[in-house]
Structure 1
Amino acid sequence: MIRDVMRYVDRRFAGLRLAFRARLSTLGKGAAVQLAQAEALAGERLQAAELFQHFGFTSAPPPGTQLIVLPLGGSTAHSVIIATENGAYRVDVASGEACIYSMWGDKVHLKQERIEVETKTLHIKASQQVVFETPSITMQGTGGGAAAATMTGSLHTTGAITSDGDHVAGGVSLEHHTHPGDSGGTTGEPK
């Protein structure tokens, strides 16, 4: 009798699909949950498998990304994707670090006691205010050279402004301007 029960259980489990690997073909957009098409490693095609991600984080893995697929209730037709990995773009991190990255090399790398951001353009959009609470801000150009800054709007400081270079306001140089003289000429430049 025990053998009959074991054979029955084995037959029932044989019809259930366990978690398996697949490779992403395409990823749909616009749905509440992203839907993916994928090729299972056994050649099987997945249609509209749901890609579940952690709250507060979303990504669109590129085609070729490896997937871990979990068939709910053992049925391939009701599969969800629970993990993705693409070694071609992954950033190596040290123990305790974390990194958000894209396939184009952009990344936010959380390291011990510092965060490194690498991108071509960093766009920060705040509807109210941006606040930096730090004793010092340093800007330098690529490779440690000079950096340039442009601002549209007013600037107000409560402390002194010190510069090693000339100041030009309204086209007038602070170092090289002149004034009309008392006797009809002009004064020399400031010293």
Structure 2
Amino acid sequence: MKAFNSLKRRMQLLVSRAVVNVINDSLKTQNLQISILDDDTADDVERFQNYGHTSVPPAGSEAIVLSVGGMREHLVAVVVDNKATRLGSLKPGDSALYHMDGHHFLLTEDGVAEVTCRIFKVVADEVVFEARETQFAGNVSILGNSTTTGTSEAADHISGGISGKTHRHREHDGALTDEAQ
């Protein structure tokens, strides 16, 4: 009976809910301090995350922890979520990457990838847009040269309704310039 009680206790402790108190992200595997039940605190709980994605959840987040081998001395967190900051009201199939402050990247069922943020910064050696049409709402500042190229004779850069290809203007002496070639 004693062996059965020990096994029963290990089975009951195998999976638990916890609240995250402290996060240490400076190690190779993120470590958590968590509270389990009312007064049980565990330190150095490894948090496993999916390859290619990492996050630091805010204190107060909830976790699902496993007791490896049914032993409370060897806890691992396999899922951590925060109900207060999770991006909700998504449609079936939608997927999002989000921050507790509200900015997010959302993939929707109709093929839209939507980024909502204060500043969108791309750090790259080269950026290539392959789109039938690109629109900007608001001001555009170009810090450097701008080149317009095309594969047809109709390729042109139009700014403020003025063609860069066929624009003519008066020189200081009043003569008209030739069209750009």
TM range (shorter): 0.7 to 0.9
Q: Where do residues 112-151 of structure 1 align in structure 2 (5 Å cutoff)?
A: 112=109, 113-127=111-125, 129-140=126-137, 147-151=138-142
Q: What are the Cα deviations for residues 76-119 of structure 1, in whole angstroms up to 9, with x where unaligned?
A: 12100011111111112110011100001110011011111000
C-alpha distance 42-10 of structure 1, shift in aligned 2 (>3 A): farther
TM-score calculated relative to the size of structure 1: 0.78
* Higher radius of gyration, 1 or 2: 1
C-alpha distance 87-156 of structure 1, shift in aligned 2 (>3 A): same
Of 54-63 and 73-82, more deviation after overlay is shown by 73-82
Backbone CA RMSD of aligned residues:
2.2
Q: Which amino acid aligns with 2:172?
A: P
Q: Where do residues 60-139 of structure 1 align in structure 2 (5 Å cutoff)?
A: 60-92=56-88, 93-112=90-109, 113-127=111-125, 129-139=126-136
Q: C-alpha displacement at 1:179, in angstroms?
A: 3.5
C-alpha distance 188-157 of structure 1, shift in aligned 2 (>3 A): closer
Matches of 2:35 and 2:172, distance apart in 1 = 81
1:154 aligned partner: 145
Q: What are the Cα deviations for residues 168-187 of structure 1, in whole angstroms up to 9, with x where unaligned?
A: xxxxxx89x86433xxxxx4
Say if 2:85 and 2:99, in contact at 8 Å, map to a contact too.
yes
Q: Which amino acid aligns with 2:43?
A: Q
SS at match of 1:76: coil
Q: Which amino acid aligns with 1:131?
A: V
Say if 2:35 and 2:41, in contact at 8 Å, map to a contact too.
yes
Count of matched residue pairs: 165
The runs of 5 or more residues in structure 1 that have no matched partner are 1-6, 141-146, 168-173, 182-186
SS at match of 1:77: coil
The runs of 5 or more residues in structure 2 that have no matched partner are 150-154
2:4 aligned partner: 10
Say if 2:14 and 2:69, in contact at 8 Å, map to a contact too.
no
Matches of 2:30 and 2:86, distance apart in 1 = 21
Matches of 1:188 and 1:23, distance apart in 2 = 78
